[in-house]
Amino acid sequence: MAKFILRRIGVMMLTALCLTFLVFFLTNLYPNLEKLAKTQGNFRMTDAEVASYLGRNGYLQPLPVKYGQWMGVLPGWTDTAEDGTLRGRCIEPGTPAEDAPRFCGILQGDWGQSTVFRKEVSEIIGEKLALTGRLMLWVMLLMVPSALILGVMAGMREGSRTDRTLSTFAITTTATPEYVSGVLFIAVFASTAVGLKWFKGTATSAMETPTFENFFLPVLTIALYGMGYIARMTRASMAEVMTAQYIRTARLKGVSFPNIVLKHALRNALIAPFTVIMLQFPWLLNGVVIVETLFNYKGFGWTLVQAASNNDIELLLAVSVVSVVVVLVTQLISDIGYVYLNPRISVS
C-alpha cells in the first residue's frame, strides 16, 4: 500500500510539473506578454516601449530560465536601472537590494506578485480559497445526501414508477449546465419581473455575511448539476446489489423491505458512489467558476477568470497549481478509498 501511494504521489508531482510548465509556456507567449505590458502600462504603447517594458521586468529571458526562477531553482533576475538602483525579482520595493535573497520561487514559499490585484499571490489565494471552501462545503452538504437518497430510492425497486420519475429528474439535472439553471433560478426566484423575490440574485454580500437568502441559489445551482450524476451511479449500483443472492436470501427469510434496504443493501451499494463523489471535485471546480461569475461571488473561480483574462501569469500559475492538486489528490483519495472499502481489490 505504501509503495502504491508513493508511486501515485510521484506521478502526481510529474503531472503537476508538466501542467505548470504548459501554463507557463502559454502565458509567456509573446502576444500574451504584449497584452500584459499594455494593461500594466497603457494601451497606446509602441512595440519598442512594450519590448523595453518586458525587458526591464525580466519577461524576455529564455523560457526555461524564467520557469526555473519561478520554481526557485535559479536565482531571480536583477536589473540596474538608469539611476543606478538595483531592481530584481526577489527585491521587494522599499527594502535594500543587499538584504534580498538570491532565490525566490515556489520552493522558497514565494508565490510571486499578482499584476492585477497588486498583492502577494499567496495572500489572494488563501483569502479566495476560504470563500470558495465555504461554498463547496454547503454544496457538498446539499448535494451528497440528496443524491444518495435519490439514487437509493430509484434503485431499490428498479423499473417502478418512482424509478422512472427519479431517473428522468436525474437526467434533467445533468442536462442543465450551471449557466442555464442559474439563470432560470434567478429569473424565477430573484427577479422583479416574476415578483417572488425569495432570494437574492447576487451573492456578493454572502462573502461577508452568508445567509440563506443570498447564499442558497449559488449553492443549489452547483449542487444540482453534480447531483444527477451521483444519483445515477448510486441507482445503478443499488439496482445491481438488489439482485444479489444474499438479498434474495434475506427476503426469503422474511426480513421486511425497509430492513433489507437499510441493513443489507445500502452498505454495499455505496462503494461505487464514493469514488464518483470524489471524482466530482474537478467538475465542481468548473461549476464554481461559472456560478461565481454568474452570482458575482469573488472566490477562487472568479479569481481564475480575472487572472486568465488579464494574463496575470503568477496568479494564474498559482490558481492552476491549486486546482491541479485538488484534482489529483481527490483522484488519489478515490483510489485508496475504493481499495479500502472493497476487500476484493488489492493493489500489490
Partner 1 sequence: MDPLGWAEIVGRTAAQLTPVWIALAVTFALSLRFKRRLGLYGKLFDSPIGMARFALVMFWVFSGLFAGAFDMILTHDVLDQSAAMKNKGPGTPYTKLMGEVAEGAYPYYLLGGDNLGRDVFSRMVVGAWEVIKIAPFASVFAFMVGITLGLPAGYYGGRLDTFLSFLANLILAFPVILLFYLLVTPEIVLTGIPVYMAAVLFVFPIVFLVLLWNSRFHTQPPKRNRYVAITLVVGLWLYLGIAWDADPLGIVSFPPNLLVVFVAVVFVNAPTVFRIVRGLTMDIKTRDYVAAAQTRGEGPWYIMLWEILPNVRGPLLVDFCLRIGYTTILLGTLGFFGLGLSPESPDWGSTINEGRKLLSMYLHPALPPAFALLSLVLGLNLLADGLREESLRD
Residue ranges that bind partner 1, judged by CB under 8 A: 11, 14-15, 18-19, 23, 26-27, 29-32, 34-35, 167-168, 171-172, 174-177, 179-180, 183-184, 186-187, 190-194, 201, 282, 285-286, 289-290, 293-294, 301, 304-305, 308-309, 311, 316, 319-320, 323-324, 327-328
Least separation in angstroms between residue 335's CB and partner 1 is 12
Residues in the chain, total: 348
Nearer to partner 1, 156 or 324 (CB): 324
Nearer to partner 1, 104 or 186 (CB): 186
Element (H, E) at 340: helix 313-341
- β-bridge partners, 229: none
- β-bridge partners, 20: none
Which amino acid type is present at position 70?
Answer: W
Local structure of residue 87 (DSSP, 8 states):
E
Distance of CA 200 to the CA centre of its chain: 24
Helix (H, G, I), strand (E, B) or coil at 4: helix
Nearer to partner 1, 96 or 133 (CB): 133
Least separation in angstroms between residue 320's CB and partner 1 is 6
Give, in degrees to the nearest 5, the angle at Cα 263 between 257 and 269.
95
Listed residue (295, 322, 293) closest to 305, CA to CA: 293
Nearer to partner 1, 116 or 261 (CB): 116
Least separation in angstroms between residue 33's CB and partner 1 is 9
Cα gap 321→70, rounded to integer Å: 13
Least separation in angstroms between residue 96's CB and partner 1 is 38
Nearer to partner 1, 162 or 168 (CB): 168
Give me the half-sphere count of Cα atoms (radius 13 Å) on the Cβ side of residue 231. Answer: 28
Least separation in angstroms between residue 129's CB and partner 1 is 14
Cα gap 288→307, rounded to integer Å: 15
Least separation in angstroms between residue 22's CB and partner 1 is 8
Nearer to partner 1, 80 or 168 (CB): 168
Nearer to partner 1, 164 or 267 (CB): 164
Which amino acid type is present at position 197?
Answer: K
Q: Are the CB atoms for 343 and 280 separated by under 8 Å?
A: no
Least separation in angstroms between residue 196's CB and partner 1 is 12
All three cell numbers of 245, joined, read 443472492
